[in-house]
Structure 1
Amino acid sequence: MTRDSLTAAASAVGLSKIYGEGGTHVTALDNLGVEFLRGQFTAIMGPSGSGKSTLMHCMAGLEPVTAGSARIGDTELGGLDDKRLTTMRRDRIGFVFQSFNLLATLTALENITLPMAIAGRKPDQAWLDRVVAAVGLADRLGHRPSQLSGGQQQRVACARALASRPEIIFADEPTGNLDSRSGAQILSFLRDCVRDLGQTVVMVTHDPIAASYADRVVFLADGRIVDDLRAPTADSVLDRMRRLDAVARTS
């Protein structure tokens, strides 16, 4: 086992995902290998249909893989039955999506602690207080989603993902439904989670500015990783995207 694999929060080897059969099949992921290291913020980018969200869903155990291996830490997802996979997603993985997915009848605090309540577990109060302070909503915990702005609702969703102290957080276009100011607040929060709380974040995005908050950007095309950029800036991400687009047009 390599040193990097020892520090990987999630990894894939020979990962393929095929939808359909025969002449109608679509290869969404094609023999892909990648590692997402602990304590790192990684962005996944690529054109529409490149496999970005499919990769995240397979790595998070939301979709089964067709071939190859997807792991959280040293746990092979393909070897888990439905019950153990559900427990894995609840206890070791956090999710943040575009649509917030908050329950309208619950307060912000109740939404944040809901996964643990369903599991019959009490939150670690010290950690919960730290997360609530990090999202900056201590004075809004009694409010329901309809009483919160879009940015505040997404911060509640981020806090919910963090509340169980997961090994890795997957975020699928988390700023897609937000204005630029609210989006910047969410991205800064995710950045701070990595830097200050030691979290691991993997984010799918199409926005070079959003990607610039990450430590690393992985670029996909046709279900394969075609580029890997460290210490990205918005300009360097945009330049890579233009180059990849030019290659795609001439191939």
Structure 2
Amino acid sequence: MTHASTPSETSDVENAQENQTVAPSTTSSDSATLYPAARAMNVTKSYGSAETSVRALDDVSVDFHSGQFTAIMGPSGSGKSTLMHCLAGLDTVTSGSVWIGDTSLSGLSDKKMTQLRRERIGFVFQSFNLVPTLTAKENITLPLDIAGRKPDPQWFEQVISTLGLGDRLGHRPSELSGGQQQRVACARALLSRPAIVFGDEPTGNLDSHSSGEVLGILRNSVDELRQTVVIVTHDPRAASYADRVIFLADGRIVDEMANPTADSVLDHMKNLEQL
């Protein structure tokens, strides 16, 4: 879901990007692909101190390119959720740097970080996090309402059409199935046209049919709406919807796979768990 902040934090994007460091570019020939949608560079994340310190991420470097669907996988405790939280600015790194496009997250104030998340990042979590007293439409537009912005009508209609929510906009969450509620959460994440959408186990609370619907929506958001999607998942079937799978173990990236299938991902995970 998109984490909304208080109405008082509504200054424009330029303020959110003041004094930003310029990201190292990956190409100089095409401005559309000048920067990855998100990037981690030599990221280390430790919890605790001295003898009790636990290193969740160990010198992780990875790019997430625009217009691509990436899944992050790994055994329990591998650091996959920690990596996503650091990329999304929900947690800080111990060392290294994290970038969203050309903006370094290092040194951003809480206010600027909140603005960056609201303006440039979408979230879809395992819990739908819908406001029960609001309709589906009101839930979808809530982050923009808080920011004092109006949705682009044409983009709103395109998102609603792609997600198949046209006949559900007046319903409250209690009147929607789990799959429909997660569709509303996806629409909320997409409505602000974020640079990147992060999903932390987005199908974890859904049955297989609803999971397939939501994964298809995320896939279509990349193919049809040109979004960039990164999910953390333990489900090989979910990972098979991605263009690329990154595998973590013990806080390090140990492998990646292009054009995954559920069977190939499952075999890879079995090998990792035997290490």
Distance in 1 between residues matched to 2:169 and 2:102, nearest whole Å: 36
Between stretches 31-40 and 1-10, larger displacement belongs to 1-10
Q: TM-score by structure 1 length?
A: 0.97
In the TM superposition, 1:29-44 aligns within 5 A as 29-44=57-72
CA contact (8 A) 2:244 2:260 kept: yes
Q: Does 1:22 align with 2:50?
A: yes
Counterpart in the other structure of 1:96: 124
Q: Percent identity?
A: 67
TM superposition shift of 1:25: 1.1
Counterpart in the other structure of 2:40: 12
TM superposition shift of 1:79: 2.6
Counterpart in the other structure of 2:3: none
Return 5+ residue gaps in structure 2 as ranges: 1-24
TM superposition shift of 1:184: 0.1
CA contact (8 A) 2:218 2:229 kept: yes
**Candidates 223, 231, 235, aligned match of 1:207:** 235
Counterpart in the other structure of 1:51: 79
Counterpart in the other structure of 2:27: 3
1:63 partner letter: D
Superimposed CA distance per residue, residues 149-171 of structure 1 (whole angstroms, 9 cap, x where no aligned partner) = 00000000000000100000000
Distance in 2 between residues matched to 1:99 and 1:173, nearest whole Å: 9
Counterpart in the other structure of 2:253: 225
Superimposed CA distance per residue, residues 88-139 of structure 1 (whole angstroms, 9 cap, x where no aligned partner) = 0000000000000000010000000000000000001100110111110111
Counterpart in the other structure of 1:105: 133
How many residues of Structure 1 are paired with residues of Structure 2 in the alignment?
A: 247
Distance in 2 between residues matched to 1:79 and 1:8, nearest whole Å: 20
Q: Does 1:181 align with 2:209?
A: yes
Superimposed CA distance per residue, residues 150-201 of structure 1 (whole angstroms, 9 cap, x where no aligned partner) = 0000000000000100000000000000000000000000000000110000
Distance in 2 between residues matched to 1:99 and 1:224, nearest whole Å: 27
Distance in 2 between residues matched to 1:15 and 1:143, nearest whole Å: 43
Counterpart in the other structure of 2:265: 237
Counterpart in the other structure of 2:11: none
Counterpart in the other structure of 1:167: 195
Distance in 2 between residues matched to 1:93 and 1:63, nearest whole Å: 14
Cα root mean square deviation, aligned = 1.1
More helix by share: 1
Q: Find the residue that maps to 2:211 and give its secondary structure.
A: helix
Return 5+ residue gaps in structure 1 as ranges: none
Q: TM-score by structure 2 length?
A: 0.88
TM superposition shift of 1:57: 0.4
**Candidates 104, 114, 133, aligned match of 2:161:** 133
